[in-house]
Structure 1
Amino acid sequence: MFIKVLSRISIILIFILFPLFSIAKEFELKLCYPDNDAPPWQIGNGDHVFNPAGLSLDIISKAASNLNIKVIYSRVPTNRVFNILKKNEVDGAFIFSFLEERLEYGYFPMNKKDLDHERRVATMIYSFYKRKDSNITWDGKKLSNSDKAVGVNRGYAVIDVLKKLQIPYEESKGTEVLLKKLDSSRISSCIGQSITVDYFIKKLKLKNIVKINPDVISKDYFLIFSHKFINEHKNIAEKLWTEIGKVRDIEIQKNISTYEN
């Protein structure tokens, strides 16, 4: 009799708990990212998710997989990313550095009142680039001998740095476009993420373009969640941010060679 009662209880518990396990395994997260090619962090132009997709997606996908989260990726132009995040058409967007005005659109991982460096997706270094025959110099505070606007990717946070330094700038879509403009003397210099710019210099065989030392700035980049998602699923967001911090360096070390050719 006792065994029969236990069996019935077990069956009832299975029926009660099984849907809960199923929901946890089937949790879907909608994330978007810009549609421009920015190796090694995101690969290819357009709304297609390429394979391999980029280090940022490798990191986020691994962290999500560890938490039984299914990620649905989409790509849109950079200037639309924050609009659809604000409208809650997606749960989150990546990868972006912190700007005060971006808090209007979503949440960054925090440690009390400070940005949580440990839960970043990436850290990127920005540098100026010029043609070899140019006499432009950068001493860490002032860009000298520049007779044209500095080229920069549209919507990049480093534009704020140029504004503070009172350096005229011209926005373009994508690092490849910037370098082609620089190579053809349509701009006299550009600023970009060193790892991405160096990749395109090698890919496009632009032997006439060189980096200007020292580096301009180093910035952390994050996955941002919408206000609605944080209000409804803050626990999931916190867990994913933390897991990203755990897997980031391992995934970069494991996959970086995929994007070096």
Structure 2
Amino acid sequence: MKFLHHLCGGWLLITLWCGVASAQGVTLRLCAEDEDAHPWLVREGGGANGVMLRMVEQKLGVRFQVERMPWRRCLLSMKEGQVDGGFKASYSAERATFLAYPMKNGQVDEERRMLTESYHFYRRKSSLLVWDGARMNRQPESVGAQSGFSIVGRLRNQGFTVDDGNRLSEAVLVKLQKGRVELAALQTLAADRVLQRRPELAAELERMEPALVSQAYYLVFALPFAQKAPALVDRVWDTIGAVREALPYQQALNELMGN
């Protein structure tokens, strides 16, 4: 035991560090955003992400312990090593300084993503703004977006003035309705769900086409954790990729999406 303790460089979960085959029963602490994002994240683990993680648990024998929290705090918790990882995170170079993503040939490996999600601009129906997929017909005064989301940096890099003072998509849409921002940039499924649920917002707001961007989202690990257990995190990512394409998951996803 002393030899293994020295060999693996740690005192906790020696089998986790030394090999995946012996990782049965290991618990991985993950964080996730606390706002529901249908069909991916739903309370009590009922969304597609929960379905996927349970299938990964069954295949690998690991257990995922998930804590829901504001996304910005989830990122900070991973950065500070308070959790082992989190989901669902898009790739950014800034995040890659403290998070481990599945990689292949020096690039993030989309084959091992959890899902692909799009962002759209939303405007008031009275607005004269037009989006052609690359540029606006004029520069909007401000664009509302959720705090901590990667789209904020993308928009600022494109020259937009961004108001990221709200963490919930619903709050951003309310701000748009009240004229406090001229546009909103939100994840499509989440924003559309709010508009379906709140007809008074849908009466005044609309989605602009085409999509602003389509992004892959991943289960990511805190960098120190991934460095200690590279074989395990690779197996988790490999299994996520396999589960995503498997028929049982596809059937569950279609059911959750109402197809």
Same fold per superposition (TM over 0.5): yes
Matching residue within 247, 256, 259 for 1:258: 256
Q: What is aligned with 2:172? A: 178
Work out whether residues 64 and 240 of structure 1, in 8 Å CA contact, stay in contact via their aligned partners in 2.
no
User: Structure 2, unaligned stretches of length 5 or more?
Assistant: 1-18
Work out whether residues 82 and 105 of structure 1, in 8 Å CA contact, stay in contact via their aligned partners in 2.
no
SS in 1 for 2:123: strand
CA deviations 1:156-181 (Å, max 9, x no partner) are: 11112211221111112111111122
The amino acid that maps onto 2:87 is F
The amino acid that maps onto 2:145 is V
Q: Does 1:167 align with 2:160?
A: yes
Q: Does 1:134 align with 2:127?
A: yes
Cα displacement (A) at 1:56: 1.9
User: Structure 1, unaligned stretches of length 5 or more?
Assistant: 1-19, 44-49
Work out whether residues 41 and 56 of structure 1, in 8 Å CA contact, stay in contact via their aligned partners in 2.
yes
Q: 1:191 to 1:22 in 2, by over 3 A?
A: closer
Work out whether residues 124 and 204 of structure 2, in 8 Å CA contact, stay in contact via their aligned partners in 1.
yes
Q: What is aligned with 1:33? A: 32
Cα displacement (A) at 1:132: 1.4
| C-alpha distance in structure 2 between counterparts of 1:119 and 1:21, whole Å | 18
Work out whether residues 38 and 175 of structure 1, in 8 Å CA contact, stay in contact via their aligned partners in 2.
no
- Structure number with larger C-alpha Rg: 1
Q: What is aligned with 1:203? A: 197
Q: 1:256 to 1:174 in 2, by over 3 A?
A: farther
Cα displacement (A) at 1:67: 0.7
Q: What is aligned with 1:91? A: 84
The amino acid that maps onto 2:34 is D
Q: 1:233 to 1:143 in 2, by over 3 A?
A: same
| C-alpha distance in structure 2 between counterparts of 1:106 and 1:21, whole Å | 21
Q: 1:187 to 1:112 in 2, by over 3 A?
A: same
Q: Does 1:239 align with 2:235?
A: yes
| C-alpha distance in structure 2 between counterparts of 1:207 and 1:174, whole Å | 20
| C-alpha distance in structure 2 between counterparts of 1:98 and 1:233, whole Å | 21
Q: 1:191 to 1:72 in 2, by over 3 A?
A: same
Cα displacement (A) at 1:197: 1.3
Q: TM-score, normalised by structure 2?
A: 0.83
Which deviates further from its counterpart, 98-107 or 139-148?
139-148
SS in 1 for 2:154: helix
| C-alpha distance in structure 2 between counterparts of 1:78 and 1:165, whole Å | 23
Q: TM-score, normalised by structure 1?
A: 0.82
SS in 2 for 1:151: strand
Q: What is aligned with 1:125? A: 118
The amino acid that maps onto 2:191 is V
Q: 1:69 to 1:145 in 2, by over 3 A?
A: same
The amino acid that maps onto 1:190 is A
Work out whether residues 78 and 85 of structure 2, in 8 Å CA contact, stay in contact via their aligned partners in 1.
yes
Matching residue within 225, 228, 236 for 1:229: 225
Cα displacement (A) at 1:21: 11
Which deviates further from its counterpart, 31-40 or 145-154?
145-154
Q: 1:247 to 1:153 in 2, by over 3 A?
A: same
SS in 1 for 2:240: helix
| C-alpha distance in structure 1 between counterparts of 2:125 and 2:21, whole Å | 60
Q: 1:141 to 1:252 in 2, by over 3 A?
A: same
| C-alpha distance in structure 1 between counterparts of 2:75 and 2:129, whole Å | 35
The count of aligned residue pairs is 236
Q: What is aligned with 2:181? A: 187
Cα displacement (A) at 1:76: 2.2
| C-alpha distance in structure 2 between counterparts of 1:112 and 1:187, whole Å | 41
Q: What is aligned with 1:112? A: 105
